[in-house]
C-alpha cells in the first residue's frame, strides 16, 4: 500500500498541473479562434487620438551585458510616442568601475534616437531590484509608468496598444504579450522560446478570457502612476515583485488587463544553468508572494471564484514537491520491499488518467502553437520534448525552493539570471550532483522494473528518467556549443 500511495501522489500531482493548464488552454483557444479585436490603424490612432500623456520607462539593471542594454534602449527608443512626453530612467546598481561604460552606451543611443535617457547610479543599492524600481518611480515624471527588464525589446506600437487598451477598458495596468528570443542559438534556447509563447498564452490570454484576474509581468507592463500611490512601493524582501504587485492591486480592486497586440521580446536562457537560476528564483518568489498575499486576496471585493483561482494560480506548481520527493522514496521502497506484482496495477485507473491528460496536454500544445503561427510540426514536437526534459530535471530544485518559501524560510540568495555574453555552459559534474543522483535512482528503478517484468512501473520510471538523461547528455556529454 505504501508503494501505491507514493506513486499515486506523483501521478496525481502531474495530472493536476497539466489539467490546470489544459483548462487555461481552453480559454486561450477560445480567444485565438474568435479574435474579434478590430483595431483601428495604429498610425491613425497615433496621429489623431493620442493625448499628450507623459510616459516614464523604468529599467533596473546590475552587472548586465552592455550590448544587451544597447539593444533594449534602441527598441524602447523606437516606440511610437511624442519624444517631448517620453523619458527612460535606468537605475543601475553596478560597481563604479562600470559607470563610464554604461554612460557611453546610453549617450550613444540617446543622441542617435533623440531620446531623453537618464542614468541613476546607486552607491548603496538598498533593496536590490525592488529598491531600484521604487527610487525610479520617485524620480520619474510620467503619468504612466512602464517597467522593462534590461533585455526587453518592445515592438514600436507597444505603448500605443497598451495605452489604448488602458483607456478603452478602464484598466489601471496593462500587461503586454511576451515573446521569447535567445542570445545564443541552442536546443534549450529554441525550446524555451516556444515554451514562453505557450505558457504566456495560457496564463495570460487564457486566464483573462476565462474571466480571471491577470497579474502584471515584471517586464512589459504599463501602469498608471496612481497605482503606486494606492498600493505603495515594493517591499525589499519580496522576490517576485510582479506577482506581489498584482496581489496588492487585487486587494485594492484595481483593474488589470492583458493586450495581445502589445508585444515585447524577452530573452530566454540559452543554457540549462541560466534556466536553473531563473526557475529557482521564480519558484521561491511565486510561493513567497502567495503565502504572504493570502490576507490581500481575502481583503478584496472581487468574487470568491476569482480569489480561489488566484490562490490556485500562485500555488499551481506546489504539487512538484510531491513529484520531487515521492519519486526517490518510491524507487527506494521498490528496491527494499521487492514487490512480486507491479504496484501500478492496483492504481491502473490513475495511470490511465495520467496518460490521457498527458496526451490532451500535448494536443493543446500543438493547437496553441499552430494558432500562434508555428508551422513546423517537427520543431514544435522537439521543443516540447526538450521543455519537458528541462522541467523534469529541474523538479527537485524547484520543489526545494518552493518548500523553503512555503515554510517561510526568509534567507534567500538572490541570483540574477545571466544574460547575453554572460551566459556560460557549465560542464563540471559537481554542478549537477542533484540531477545525477536522481538519474541514478531512477535508473535503478527502471532496471529493476525490467528484471521484474513490471511494465507499468517501467513506463512511468522511464519517462521520468529520460528527462534527466537528456539534460545531462546535452550539457555534460555533447557540451553544446553556442552558434
**Residue 349: strand, helix, or coil:** helix
> Would you state the torsion angle of the CA atoms of residues 109, 113, 116, 122, taken in this order, to the nearest 10 degrees?
-10
Most confident of 51-60, 428-437, 470-479: 51-60
The answer to whether residue 31 sits within a structural domain is: no
Whether residue 11 sits in one domain with residue 50: no
Whether residue 15 sits in one domain with residue 91: no
pLDDT of residue 35: 73
Whether residue 12 sits in one domain with residue 136: no
**298: phi then psi, degrees, rounded to nearest 5:** -65, -30
Last residue of a domain, one of 314, 332, 365: 314
The answer to whether residue 420 sits within a structural domain is: yes
How are strands ordered across the β-sheet holding 86-92? Answer: 116-121, 86-92, 55-61, 144-147, 221-224, 173-181, 256-267, 153-154
Using pLDDT thresholds of 50, 70 and 90, give the confidence band for residue 237.
confident
* Domain enclosing residue 265, as ranges: 40-314
Q: Is it the case that residue 431 has pLDDT exceeding 70?
A: yes
Using pLDDT thresholds of 50, 70 and 90, give the confidence band for residue 123.
confident
Whether residue 430 sits in one domain with residue 289: no
Task: List Cα–Cα distances, 449 to 312, 335, 345, 456, in angstroms.
Answer: 35, 10, 13, 9
Q: Is it the case that residue 423 has pLDDT exceeding 80?
A: no
Whether residue 68 sits in one domain with residue 19: no
pLDDT of residue 482: 45
| Among 438, 450, 441, 318, residue whose Cα is nearest residue 389 | 438
Total number of domains constituting the chain: 2
Q: Is it the case that residue 425 has pLDDT exceeding 70?
A: no
**Strands 153-154 and 256-267, sheet pairing:** antiparallel
Whether residue 227 sits in one domain with residue 102: yes
Residues 42-74: pLDDT tens digits?
Answer: 555 555 555 689 999 999 999 888 999 999 999
The answer to whether residue 482 sits within a structural domain is: no
The answer to whether residue 373 sits within a structural domain is: yes
Whether residue 127 sits in one domain with residue 63: yes
Cell of 281: 528564483
Whether residue 271 sits in one domain with residue 229: yes
Residues 156-212: pLDDT tens digits?
Answer: 999 999 999 999 999 999 999 999 999 888 889 999 999 999 999 999 999 999 999
- Provide the whole-model pTM: 0.90
Amino acid at each position: 500500500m505504501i508503494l501505491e500511495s507514493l506513486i499515486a501522489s506523483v501521478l496525481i500531482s502531474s495530472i493536476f498541473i497539466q489539467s490546470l493548464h489544459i483548462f487555461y488552454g481552453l480559454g486561450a483557444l477560445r480567444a485565438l479562434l474568435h479574435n474579434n479585436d478590430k483595431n483601428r490603424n495604429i498610425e491613425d490612432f497615433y496621429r489623431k487620438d493620442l493625448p499628450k500623456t507623459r510616459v516614464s520607462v523604468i529599467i533596473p539593471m546590475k552587472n548586465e551585458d552592455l550590448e544587451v542594454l544597447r539593444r533594449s534602449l534602441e527598441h524602447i527608443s523606437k516606440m511610437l510616442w511624442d519624444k517631448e512626453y517620453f523619458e527612460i530612467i535606468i537605475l543601475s546598481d553596478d560597481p563604479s568601475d562600470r559607470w563610464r561604460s554604461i554612460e557611453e552606451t546610453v549617450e550613444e543611443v540617446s543622441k542617435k534616437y533623440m531620446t531623453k535617457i537618464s542614468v541613476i547610479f546607486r552607491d548603496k543599492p538598498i533593496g536590490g531590484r525592488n529598491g531600484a524600481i521604487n527610487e525610479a518611480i520617485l524620480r520619474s515624471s510620467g503619468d504612466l509608468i512602464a517597467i522593462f527588464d534590461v533585455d526587453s525589446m518592445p515592438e514600436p506600437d507597444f505603448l500605443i496598444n497598451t495605452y489604448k487598451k488602458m483607456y478603452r477598458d478602464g484598466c489601471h495596468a496593462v500587461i503586454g504579450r511576451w515573446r521569447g528570443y535567445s542570445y545564443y542559438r541552442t536546443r534549450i534556447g529554441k525550446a524555451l522560446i516556444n515554451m514562453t509563447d505557450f505558457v504566456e498564452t495560457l496564463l495570460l490570454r487564457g486566464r483573462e478570457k476565462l474571466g480571471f484576474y491577470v497579474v502584471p509581468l515584471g517586464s512589459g507592463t504599463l501602469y498608471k502612476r496612481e497605482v503606486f500611490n494606492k498600493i505603495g512601493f515594493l517591499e525589499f524582501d519580496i522576490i517576485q515583485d510582479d506577482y506581489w504587485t498584482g496581489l496588492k492591486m487585487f486587494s485594492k480592486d484595481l483593474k488589470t488587463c492583458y493586450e495581445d497586440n502589445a508585444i515585447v521580446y524577452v530573452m530566454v536562457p540559452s543554457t540549462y544553468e541560466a534556466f536553473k537560476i531563473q526557475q529557482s528564483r521564480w519558484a521561491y518568489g511565486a510561493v513567497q508572494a502567495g503565502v504572504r498575499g493570502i490576507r490581500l486576496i481575502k481583503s478584496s471585493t472581487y468574487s470568491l471564484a476569482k480569489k480561489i483561482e488566484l490562490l490556485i494560480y500562485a500555488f499551481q506548481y506546489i504539487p512538484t514537491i510531491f513529484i520531487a520527493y515521492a519519486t526517490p522514496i518510491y524507487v527506494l521502497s521498490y528496491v527494499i520491499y521487492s514487490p512480486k506484482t507491479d504496484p501500478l496495477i492496483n492504481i491502473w485507473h490513475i495511470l490511465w488518467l495520467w496518460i490521457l491528460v498527458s496526451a490532451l496536454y500535448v494536443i493543446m500544445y500543438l493547437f496553441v502553437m499552430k494558432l500562434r503561427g508555428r508551422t513546423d510540426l517537427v520543431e514544435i514536437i522537439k521543443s516540447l520534448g526538450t521543455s519537458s526534459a528541462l522541467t523534469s530535471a529541474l523538479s527537485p530544485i524547484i520543489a526545494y525552493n518552493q518548500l523553503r518559501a512555503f515554510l517561510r524560510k526568509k534567507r534567500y540568495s538572490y541570483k540574477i539570471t545571466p544574460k547575453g555574453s554572460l551566459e556560460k555552459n557549465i560542464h563540471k559534474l559537481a554542478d549537477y550532483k542533484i540531477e545525477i543522483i536522481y538519474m541514478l535512482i531512477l535508473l535503478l528503478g527502471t532496471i529493476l522494473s525490467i528484471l521484474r517484468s513490471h511494465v507499468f512501473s517501467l513506463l512511468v520510471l522511464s519517462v521520468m528518467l529520460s528527462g534527466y538523461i537528456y539534460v545531462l547528455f546535452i550539457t555534460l556529454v555533447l557540451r553544446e556549443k553556442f552558434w
